[in-house]
Amino acid sequence: MNPSRSDLLLASTSGCQKPCTHTDYGIYTLPDFLYEPLSNASDFLVYWNTMDVIHSSEDLLYDTSSIVAAVGGSLGLFLGFSCYDLAKRGISMALGQ
């Protein structure tokens, strides 16, 4: 399959590889008889080619076991610091320092 012209243009101008999805936007002018332009004003008209709706969903990053493991790891770390501090103070008191 040959790359399209827009894919080649995207790769040559940005240096990036082709994305998974790509949306092309274009500028089209309408003849004056389709609408009546106002003087000293700007018109911005938006039209859709299709009425397709894209539905996206999100998945959980952490499940219950991952949360329990993360909390347990943090508690173990702080318990280790506490035990180290108690041992250090105990040795200091035993040596009379």
Tens digit of pLDDT for each residue in 6-39?
A: 667 767 777 666 656 667 777 766 666 666 666 6
Structure-token match 């309408």, residue found: 30
Model confidence pTM above 0.75: no
Tokens of 89: 């103070």
> Which residues constitute the domain of residue 87?
5-50+57-94
Which pLDDT tens digit goes with each residue over 66-79? Answer: 899 999 999 999 99
d(CA 6, CA 23): 10
**How many domains, in total, are found in the chain?**
1
Closest C-alpha among 50, 55, 45 to residue 23: 50
